């Protein structure tokens, strides 16, 4: 079961630039640039939480514990590449790296672990990987702009209904995948 999911390296750039957000907000001054920049990052995170996707490329760590069987869905698609994979059989054992076998023909991508030794009660599998769009689809960007607008104009610090409607077709629904 997926026990931990964390971002190791944040995106190098946001999916919506400050200039794009200001154009969407119809602003022609620089007084609120820092605020808007922060709202863009927050809106991306809200959209990622809602869709369970990495909207822009970032490095993610997923850790699975317990009795595991292939395939393990890799959270926060789209999967780009593996950075490092490791496992530990039990608490007293040393972590061992391995070359991951990843099926990318489906979304979310899947990690195959059948060739690894059985894990004990405190064993785990860890996968560090890159995920996210290099150029996010237009509806994802528009949803982020709508969330920035709602936060800036109305003080609504969550995804507004119109943004959720744009994000819904991209939403991943699964049991323990993240």
Nearest to 143 by CA among 170, 119, 122, 167: 167
pLDDT at 128 over 90: yes
Distance from C-alpha of 110 to C-alpha of 72, rounded to nearest angstrom: 5
pLDDT in tens, 74-101: 999 999 999 999 999 998 899 999 999 9
* Euclidean distance between CA atoms 120 and 93, whole angstroms: 10
pLDDT (mean) for 159-176: 90
Tell me: pLDDT of 140 over 50: yes
The pTM of the full predicted model, rounded to 2 decimals, is 0.90
Average pLDDT of every residue of the chain: 94
What ranges do the domains of the chain cover? 14-55+136-170, 58-131
pLDDT number for residue 175: 57
């Amino acid at each position: 079961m997926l026990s931990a999911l964390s971002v190791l390296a944040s995106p190098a750039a946001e999916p919506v630039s400050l200039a794009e957000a200001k154009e969407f907000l119809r602003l022609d001054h620089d007084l609120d640039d820092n605020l808007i920049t922060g709202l863009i990052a927050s809106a991306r995170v809200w959209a990622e939480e809602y869709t369970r996707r990495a909207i822009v490329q970032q490095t993610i760590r997923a850790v699975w514990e317990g009795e595991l069987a292939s395939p393990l869905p890799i959270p926060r698609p789209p999967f780009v590449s593996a950075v490092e994979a490791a496992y530990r059989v039990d608490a007293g054992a040393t972590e061992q790296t391995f070359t991951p076998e990843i099926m990318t023909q489906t979304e979310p991508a899947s990690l195959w672990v059948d060739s690894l030794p059985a894990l004990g009660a405190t064993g785990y599998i860890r996968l560090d990987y890159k995920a996210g769009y290099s150029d996010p689809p237009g509806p994802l960007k528009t949803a982020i702009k709508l969330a920035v607008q709602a936060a800036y104009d109305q003080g609504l610090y969550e995804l507004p209904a119109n943004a959720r409607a744009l994000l819904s077709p991209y939403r991943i629904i699964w049991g323990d995948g993240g």
